[in-house]
Structure formats: C-alpha cells, structure tokens
C-alpha cells in the first residue's frame, strides 16, 4: 500500500512539474521564444566589429577566444530579475501564450527587421535634430562654423 501511495505521489509531482513551471523558468522560456536570450551575444558581436575597426593590430584569434568565453547564460541571469520585477507570473504566462499565436510568432519573426529599421530611423531623426540645433545656434550667433 505504501508503495502504491509513493508511486501515486511521484506521478502527481511529475505531472505537476510539466505544467507548474516556476516564474523564473517561464521568464527564461519567454526569452528563448523571443530571441532575447541571444541578444547579449549579438551585442557583443557588434562591439567586437567596432573594436576590430578601432584596433586593427589585434589578431583575429584574440577576438575569437574572447567570444568563446562569453556565456549567454550570464546575460539571462541579469535579465530574469528585471522581468520578474515588472511582470507577475500570470502576465509572463499570458505573454508566452500570445507568442504562441500566429500573430505572436509573426511578431517574433519580424522583430529583428523592425528593430533594425527603427534604429536606422532613430539615427536619421537624431542627425536631423542635431543639424537643426546646429543651424539654430549659428543663426542665433551662439556658434561659429
């Protein structure tokens, strides 16, 4: 009888673990779904490209060895508490549910292009504003060019 109860209890716990993930596990799942988990690696790769331009004398294998030491899990460990602070567990599961819909999947698919285009638009906007400021400063006699 005790063996039957132990088997039943183990089965229930196993079954519950399939559906009862912790908030942190769900946040990691959300980050993986959206590609956020890889964002740190992408940022590092972009930084390395810039470093290579600034420091062309540094051998290529140095950068390869440096990137090999970068651990994406470190970035996840930094971001999980941020999501935890801003969202309840129910909200995280709601967001996951949305990303499992066709619209959510499309958003995930299109987000890299949207982000890239938005950054380019923001840079162009910033340059335009900077030129307007410079022109106004010249017109106001506060800047000589």
For the segment 126-139, what is each residue's pLDDT rounded down to a tens digit? 999 999 999 999 99
What is the reported pLDDT for 71? Answer: 86
Output the 3-class SS for 70-109.
Answer: CCHHHHHHHHHHHHHHHCCHHHHHHHHHHHCCHHHHHHHH
For the segment 45-78, what is each residue's pLDDT rounded down to a tens digit? 889 999 999 999 999 999 999 999 988 888 899 9
For the segment 3-28, what is each residue's pLDDT rounded down to a tens digit? 555 454 444 444 444 456 999 999 99
Whether the predicted pLDDT of 43 surpasses 60? yes
Mean pLDDT across the stretch 101-118? 94
Burial of 28 by CB count in 10 Å (0-12 exposed, 13-18 middle, 19+ buried)? buried
What is the reported pLDDT for 18? Answer: 47
Whether the predicted pLDDT of 79 surpasses 80? yes
65 token code pair: 């060895």
């Amino acid at each position: 009888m005790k063996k039957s109860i132990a088997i039943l209890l183990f089965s229930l716990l196993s079954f519950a673990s399939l559906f009862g993930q912790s908030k942190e596990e769900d946040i990691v799942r959300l980050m993986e779904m959206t590609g956020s988990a890889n964002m740190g690696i992408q940022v590092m790769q972009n930084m390395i490209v810039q470093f290579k331009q600034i420091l062309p004398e540094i051998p290529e294998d140095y950068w390869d060895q440096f990137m090999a030491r970068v651990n994406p899990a470190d970035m996840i460990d930094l971001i999980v508490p941020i999501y935890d602070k801003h969202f309840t567990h129910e909200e995280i599961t709601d967001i996951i549910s949305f990303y499992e819909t066709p619209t959510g999947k499309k958003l995930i698919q299109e987000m890299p292009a949207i982000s890239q285009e938005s950054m380019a638009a923001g840079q162009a906007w910033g340059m335009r504003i900077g030129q307007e400021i410079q022109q106004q400063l010249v017109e106001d006699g506060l800047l000589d060019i």
